[in-house]
Amino acid sequence: MSNWSFEGMGEFGSAADADRWAKRQGLAPQDVRITRKGDGVELEVRRSALGDSGTRHDDRRDGRRNGFF
């Protein structure tokens, strides 16, 4: 288990779908964790890659958290 803190970004139908989404967001492979969940996968992103570490969970300031498309 890593010492990094990850935040869930959602579930995808396949690892390939999750990987494509992460690449569109410009995330480095080491900042992404994809794990099987039921029939699909769950994508998590390292908090330090979100750009707004140290903020409250529901804080929507100008970090990566509200800039994903």
What pLDDT, in 10s, does the model give residues 7-45? 899 999 999 999 999 999 899 999 999 999 989 999 999
Q: Considering the entire predicted model, what is its pTM?
A: 0.65
52 has a pLDDT exceeding 60? no
pLDDT tier for residue 64 given thresholds of 50, 70 and 90: low
More confident residue, 49 or 46: 46
Exposure class string for 57-67: b at 16+ Cβ within 10 A, else e: eeeeeeeebee
Question: What residue spans define the domains of the chain?
Answer: 1-47
DSSP characters over the chain: --SS-EEEEEEESSHHHHHHHHHHTT--GGGEEEEEETTEEEEEEEGGGTS-TTS-TT--SSSGGGT--
Residue 22 neighbours by CB distance under 10 Å: 22
49 has a pLDDT exceeding 90? no
Q: How high is the pLDDT of residue 35?
A: 94
